[in-house]
């Protein structure tokens, strides 16, 4: 506000610049849906490495194909991922003597044991916490005695007046392994009095210890196979399955590996996921069905005939890309034997790596898009077969001497030549989604501002600065900003009727970079010079 002068002198006013920096959002946060050995169910959990996945979801397991897709994602340059664990008819392991249960369902916790002791609990400790000495105890959890994780919780109690040292609160905040069981009314089932000290006083982690003498968890049951589309897609109102991603702030890529490595993700699941990705401004990575490459001699023909049966058409298919064929890798869980896997995790990792090295506007394909960890492709396509599939919007994985196995296609499922869609290419679509999401988040401050020329000028300044920054990074066609993009927000885009309705219209255009998909080299003989 202007200063109201009341005395002779100098007054200082700070005038806001009107600049509100728009920051580009992440472009390669990848969401994975599927079963896992352990971990939170229907809770989107962010991880930053495969080590995180091992700690939180149990790592590789031959029964859960999602674990291999996540491994491939990080092996090929992935950075951030969101894991949504889905389960069916699983159960948590429990220990009823002390009313504990595993932090997540699965048979993984059936080997857990616990001990109780009073070491280090003195009158001074009891006085510091304000809890009677006889109510305090130490709890130690052994995930897999001798080899697994060990968690120790000192000075805990099960009395309702134990405050911050009450067992259920301590475990909820600090433990990755166990929780206190809940009663039917949802309150913690705290036993009373406190559990007795364990006897004999052995260390369960000692290989020579008699494990039969310790209190063991039991009753954990792994998930049944997912056989129904709704078990994967979930319930939107309850935020389960795929719709658990509603609790995630942002994801850019979605991978749904088949429930079993030899199976397929159903067309119904992909159709539902494609629509959800369009709503969330994300890209769906589609794995080709196993039957397409079952016979190497007819693989291309089956892919051509099988594409329409997937039903991945319509406007939303701009947000999906299909990759063919499947890949072969050595499986460390099967003594290094070769097996067939879907490539979605690899593709997402390559997209993430390309975004970092070149930008989201660079096609995640070409000789630089090598696939790490791939021993062979299920089908080695030749140029003619590639030439039949590419015009239909099927992205091929190819093998070339020297360069190895690479991604050799970058079209969306609206990329068929016959459709002539403006969102034909994956990098063009992903660039648009990146700009949309960045501007959506970066213009929230506009809401409820006075809708007149000063606001429009600020919008042009801030959005223009964001687009100019992308232009300088090489994201658009053109040699000048005028050729590369435009930002309009004035009385032409926002009429008086719009103002009366509380609407401000911002029009942003850009000239996208399109990949050099076909390189044509023309050769001509030079005729000898004729002397005249």
Q: What confidence score (pLDDT) does residue 366 get?
A: 95
Confidence of residue 26 (pLDDT cuts 50, 70, 90): very high
Q: What confidence score (pLDDT) does residue 85 get?
A: 97
Of 72-76, 239-243, 331-335, 528-532, the least confident: 528-532
* N-terminal to C-terminal alpha carbon distance within the chain: 86
Q: Which two tokens stand for residue 69?
A: 């897709």
Confidence of residue 1 (pLDDT cuts 50, 70, 90): low
Confidence of residue 405 (pLDDT cuts 50, 70, 90): very high
Confidence of residue 532 (pLDDT cuts 50, 70, 90): low
Which of these CATH numbers, 3.40.50.1860, 3.20.20.80, 3.40.190.10, 3.40.50.11780, describes 30-88+224-428? 3.40.50.11780
- Regarding predicted confidence, which is higher, 202 or 176? 176
Over residues 445-469, the pLDDT tens digits come to 999 999 999 999 999 999 999 999 9
Percent of the chain clearing pLDDT 90 (strictly above): 77
Q: What confidence score (pLDDT) does residue 211 get?
A: 67
- Residue 144: exposed, middle, or buried by beta-carbon count in 10 A (0-12, 13-18, 19+)? middle
Strand order in the sheet with 94-95: 94-95, 100-102, 178-180
Quickly list DSSP for 466-485: HHHHHHHTT-BSSSSHHHHE
CA 139-107-206 angle, to 5 degrees, is 45
- Regarding predicted confidence, which is higher, 18 or 47? 47
Q: Which residue has the tokens 């190819």?
A: 398
Give the mean model confidence (pLDDT) for residues 394-419.
Answer: 95
- Give the Cα separation of 223 and 241 in Å (integer): 14
Burial 450-462 (b: 16+ CB within 10 A, else e): ebeeebbebbebb
Q: What confidence score (pLDDT) does residue 103 get?
A: 94
Q: What is the mean pLDDT of the chain?
A: 92
Confidence of residue 201 (pLDDT cuts 50, 70, 90): low
Give the mean model confidence (pLDDT) for residues 142-155.
Answer: 86
- Give the Cα separation of 211 and 110 in Å (integer): 13
- Give the Cα separation of 234 and 238 in Å (integer): 8
What is the Cβ-side half-sphere exposure of residue 494, based on CA atoms within 13 angstroms? 20
Percent of the chain clearing pLDDT 70 (strictly above): 97
Confidence of residue 239 (pLDDT cuts 50, 70, 90): very high
Over residues 495-510, the pLDDT tens digits come to 999 999 999 999 999 9
**pLDDT at residue 200 greater than cutoff 90:** no
Residue 31 contacts residue 251 (beta carbons within 8 Å): yes
- Residue 66: exposed, middle, or buried by beta-carbon count in 10 A (0-12, 13-18, 19+)? buried
- Give the Cα separation of 477 and 48 in Å (integer): 34
- Give the Cα separation of 166 and 155 in Å (integer): 9
Quickly list DSSP for 228-287: SHHHHH--TTTT-GGGGGGGSS--SEEE---SSTTS---HHHHHHHHHHHHHHT-EEEEE
Give the mean model confidence (pLDDT) for residues 460-489.
Answer: 95
Over residues 57-114, the pLDDT tens digits come to 999 999 999 999 999 999 999 999 999 999 999 999 998 888 999 999 999 999 898 8
Residues near 114 by Cβ (< 8 Å), separated by ≥ 6?
95, 98, 100, 139, 140, 141, 142, 178, 198, 214, 215, 217
**pLDDT at residue 525 greater than cutoff 90:** no
pTM exceeding the 0.85 threshold for the entire prediction: yes
Helix %, strand %, coil % for the chain, to 5?
35, 20, 50
Q: Where in the chain is the domain with CATH 3.40.50.11780?
A: 30-88+224-428
Q: Which residue has the tokens 């109780």?
A: 116
Q: What confidence score (pLDDT) does residue 399 get?
A: 96
Q: Which residue has the tokens 């063991």?
A: 216
- Give the Cα separation of 33 and 81 in Å (integer): 11
Q: Which residue has the tokens 């995180």?
A: 52
Give the mean model confidence (pLDDT) for residues 403-431.
Answer: 95
**pLDDT at residue 528 greater than cutoff 70:** no
């Amino acid at each position: 506000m202007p200063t109201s002068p009341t005395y002779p002198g100098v007054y200082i006013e700070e005038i806001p610049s009107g600049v509100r920096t728009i920051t580009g959002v992440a472009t390669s946060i990848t969401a994975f849906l599927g079963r896992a050995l352990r971990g939170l169910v229907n809770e989107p959990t962010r991880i930053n490495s495969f080590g995180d996945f091992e700690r939180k979801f149990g790592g590789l397991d031959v029964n859960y194909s999602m674990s291999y897709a996540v491994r491939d994602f990080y092996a090929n340059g992935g950075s951030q991922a969101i894991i949504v664990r889905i389960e069916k008819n699983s159960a948590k392991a429990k220990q009823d003597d002390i009313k504990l249960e595993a932090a997540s369902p699965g048979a993984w916790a059936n080997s857990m044991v616990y001990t109780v002791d009073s070491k280090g609990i003195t009158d001074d400790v009891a006085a510091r916490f304000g809890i009677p000495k006889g109510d305090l105890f130490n709890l130690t959890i052994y995930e897999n005695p001798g080899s697994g994780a060990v968690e120790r919780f000192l000075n805990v109690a099960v009395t309702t007046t134990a405050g911050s040292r009450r067992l259920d609160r301590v475990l909820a905040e600090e433990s990755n392994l166990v929780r206190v069981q809940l009663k039917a009314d949802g309150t913690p089932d705290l036993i009373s009095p406190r559990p007795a000290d364990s006897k004999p006083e052995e260390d369960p982690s000692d290989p020579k210890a008699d494990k039969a003498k310790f209190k063991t968890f039991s009753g954990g049951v792994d998930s049944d196979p997912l056989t129904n589309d709704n078990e994967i897609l979930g319930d939107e109102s309850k935020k389960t399955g795929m719709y658990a991603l509603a609790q995630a702030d942002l994801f850019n890529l979605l991978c749904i590996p088949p429930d079993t490595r030899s199976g397929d993700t159903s067309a119904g699941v992909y159709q539902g996921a494609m629509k959800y990705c369009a709503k969330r401004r994300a890209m769906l990575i589609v794995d080709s069905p196993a039957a397409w490459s079952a016979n190497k001699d007819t693989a291309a023909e089956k892919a051509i005939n099988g594409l329409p049966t997937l039903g991945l058409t319509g406007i939303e298919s701009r947000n999906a890309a299909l990759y063919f064929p499947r890949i072969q890798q050595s499986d460390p869980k099967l003594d290094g034997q070769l097996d067939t896997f879907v490539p979605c995790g690899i593709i997402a990792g390559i997209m993430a790596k390309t975004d970092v090295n070149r930008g989201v506007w660079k096609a995640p394909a070409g000789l630089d898009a090598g696939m790490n960890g791939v021993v062979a492709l299920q089908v080695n396509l030749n140029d003619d077969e590639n030439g039949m599939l590419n015009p239909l919007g099927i992205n091929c994985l190819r093998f070339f001497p020297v360069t190895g196995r690479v991604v050799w296609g970058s079209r969306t499922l609206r990329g068929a030549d016959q459709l002539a869609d403006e969102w034909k290419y994956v990098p063009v679509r992903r660039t648009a989604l990146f700009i949309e999401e960045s501007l959506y988040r970066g213009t929230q401050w506009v809401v409820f501002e006075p809708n007149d020329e000063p606001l429009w000028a600020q919008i042009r300044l801030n959005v223009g600065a964001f687009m100019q920054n992308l232009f300088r990074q090489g994201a658009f066609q053109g040699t000048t900003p005028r050729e590369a993009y435009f930002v309009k927000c004035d009385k032409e885009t926002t009429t008086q009727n719009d103002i009366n309705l509380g609407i401000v219209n911002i029009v942003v255009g850009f000239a996208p970079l399109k990949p050099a998909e076909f390189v044509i080299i023309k050769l001509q003989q030079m005729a000898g010079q004729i002397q005249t």
